[in-house]
Amino acid sequence: MKTTSNIIHAHILIAGLMFWLFSMPVLAEAQFDEELAKAATSEQLQKLLEQYPTKATEIVPKLENTLVKELRGKPLGERYTIREVLPKPGGVSGSLTISENGPSVYLYFTEYPQDRTTFATGSFATIETNVKDLLSSQTVPAGDGSIHRFAGGQHKTIKVGNHILIDEGEKHHRLTFCLLKDQGYVYLRGKGVLITPDGKEVKLGY
C-alpha cells in the first residue's frame, strides 16, 4: 500500500510540475502584454526593451511612435536635427529601413508589422544618391511624422542633404531619424555617427 501511495504522490507531483512548466510561458506572455500596454513614455518603453529584448518587434514601433509624439512641436535642445530637410507638404507618412546597396543604389525594406510604405518591400532606387532627393520623389514616405531607419554598418554610408549618416546599431537599435513639420529631420534613436558638412563627427546614441 505504501508503494502504491508513493507512486500516486509521484504522479501528482509530476502532473503539478508539468502544469507549472506549461503555464509559465503563458503567464510571462500575459505579464509582458500588460507591461507593454501600460508603458506610456519613451523612457518606460526603452526599459521594457532592455528587459524583453526578444520582444523588440512589438516594442520598437511603439517606442518610435511615442518618441515622435514627445518631440513634435517641442524644443529639441541638443537633439541633433538636420533643419534643411523637412517633411514633404501633403506627403504620405510611413516608416521603413533604408540601406545603401552599392554605389548610387538604395534598398528600402520593412522590418516591423506596423511599417507603412508607398512601395513594394525590397524596392530599389538607382538614380538618386541622396536621401534628401529621395524624399522629394514618390519613392520614400516623406510626410510629417515619417520614420526612417538606416542599416548597413560602418562600411555603408547614407547621404542626407550635406550630411553623412553611418549606422552603428544592431538590428533593433538602428540609427533612426524622423521628419517633423517646422522642425526638420530629427534624430530619434539608435547608434551611429553623423558627419556634418564641415567634416565634424557627431556620435549619436552613445
Domain match, 50 and 145 both: no
Averaged pLDDT, 142-169? 85
Q: Are residues 67 and 86 in the same domain?
A: no
Domain residues for the domain of 8 are 2-71
Structure confidence at residue 14 as a pLDDT band (50, 70, 90): low
Mean pLDDT throughout 94-104?
79
Q: Which three cell numbers stand for residue 2?
A: 505504501
Listing DSSP states for 19-74 in one string gives HHHHHHHHHHHHHHHHHHHH--SHHHHHHHHHH-GGGHHHHHHHHHHHHHHHHTTS
Residue 38 sits in the same domain as residue 133: no
Give pLDDT, residue 107.
Answer: 77
Q: Distance (Å, rounded) from C-alpha 7 to C-alpha 24?
A: 26
Supply the pLDDT for residue 106.
73
Give the range among 47-51, 116-120, 134-138, 169-173 with minimum mean pLDDT.
Answer: 116-120
- Residues 54-82: pLDDT tens digits? 999 999 999 999 999 999 999 999 999 99
**What is the pLDDT, as a whole number, of residue 147?**
96
178 lies in the same domain as 104: yes
Question: Of the residues 12, 36, 71, which one is the last residue of a structural domain?
Answer: 71
Are 176 and 118 within one domain?
Answer: yes
Query: What whole-number distance in Å separates Cα of residue 183 and Cα of residue 196?
Result: 18
